[in-house]
Amino acid sequence: MKFAVIVFPGSNCDIDMYHAVKDELGEEAEYVWHDAESLEDYDAVLLPGGFSYGDYLRSGAIAQFSNVMKEVVKAAEAGKPVLGVCNGFQILLEAGLLPGAMRRNESLKFICKQVELKVENNETMFSAGYDQGEVITIPVAHGEGNYYCDEETLSRLKTNNQIVFTYEGENPNGSLENIAGIINEQGNVLGMMPHPERAVDELLGGADGLKLFKSIVKQWREANAVNA
C-alpha cells in the first residue's frame, strides 16, 4: 500500500508521518509537495501537522487553496483513506472536507503532552483495530484544537456516529463534547488533533497510534483482495 505524505511550506510532522508508515508499518510512503498535480498513484493520503503557511490568517486557511488540495478532494471523493492530523485536521476543516472549525485553546496556551483518548467508534477504516470504548494514550501538540460546530452539525455527527475519538478525563483544549477526532459521512476522511504518528514505538513513549495505521492497511488489503 502506498501512502502520500503531503508537505506544505511549514509542515513539521511530515517526517514523523513518513517514519510511521515506512519504518514502523512497513508500507510505501512518499513525500508529495503542495503544488503536486496528481495523487492518482497513491492509495491513501496523509496530511501532517505543523504550521502550514505560518498559520497566517487562520490555521489551514491558506493551505486549503494549494494545488494539491484539489487532488485531496478528488481522492476523498474516490473513497481513498484521507487522514489529517493536527494542522492536517485544521486544513480538512477549512477545505470543507469535514464540518466545523477550530478555535484557540480555552487556556490560550500551546499544549504538548500525552492525553488519553476514548475510541467512540471502532467501525471505521481508521479505528477498526481498537476495541469499542478502549482508552488509548496519544500525544497532542497544538494551540488551536478547540473544536467547534453548531448544534445542528453536532447532532448530525452524533446521529451518524462520526465522532471517532474523544478526550478521556481531562479535555486539554475545551473542545465541544470533548471531541478529539471526527470522520466524514462516507467514512474515509478522518481528522484528529492528537498525533498517532508520534505514538508508534514503545521506545518513544507508546505505540497506541500504530494500530490506527494498521487498521487502514488491513481494510485496504481486504477491499483489494475482493476486487482482485
Partner 1 sequence: MYKVKVYVTLRESVLDPQGTAVKNSLATHGYEGIQEVRIGKYMELTLDESVKDVDAAVKEMCERLLANPVIEDYRYEVEEVVAQ
Q: Which residues are catalytic?
A: 86, 195, 197
The answer to whether residues 118 and 128 touch, using CB atoms and an 8 Å cutoff, is no
Q: Segment contacting partner 1 (CB under 8 A): 17-25, 56-64, 125-133, 163-171?
A: 56-64
Closest distance of CB 107 from partner 1, Å: 8
| Residue 72 host element (H or E) | helix 67-77
- Asked if 100 is part of the footprint of partner 1 (rule: CB under 8 A), the reply reads yes
Element spanning 92, H or E: helix 87-94
Residue with smaller CB distance to partner 1, 142 or 198: 142
- As a three-state string, the secondary structure of 135-193 is EEEEEEEECCCEEECCHHHHHHHHHCCCEEEEECCCCCCCCHHHEEEEECCCCCEEEEC
**Residue among 38, 107, 132, 155 that touches partner 1 (CB under 8 A):** 107
Q: Is 199 exposed, middle or buried (0-12, 13-18, 19+ CB in 10 A)?
A: buried
For residues 141 to 180, the per-residue mask of contacts with partner 1, x marking binding by CB under 8 A and - elsewhere, is: -----x-xxx-----------------------x------
Q: How far is the CB of 140 from partner 1 (least distance, A)?
A: 17
Cβ proximity to partner 1, 128 vs 149, nearer residue: 149
Residue nearer to partner 1 on the CB measure, 52 or 127: 52
How many residues in the shown chain lie near partner 1 by CB under 8 A?
21
Residue 104 is a binding residue for partner 1 (CB under 8 A):
yes
Whether the CB-CB separation of 84 and 12 falls below 8 Å is answered with: no
Per CB under 8 A, 111 contacts partner 1: no
User: CA–CA separation, 216 vs 113, rounded Å?
Assistant: 25
Closest to partner 1 by CB, 3 or 147? 147
Query: What is the distance between the terminal CA atoms of the chain, rounded to a whole angstrom?
Result: 14
Q: Is 66 in the site for partner 1 (CB under 8 A)?
A: no
Residue type present at position 37:
E
Chain position carrying cell 521506545? 203
CB nearer partner 1, residue 174 or residue 206 = 174
Interface residues with partner 1 (CB under 8 A) are: 57-58, 61-62, 65, 93-94, 99-101, 103-108, 146, 148-150, 174
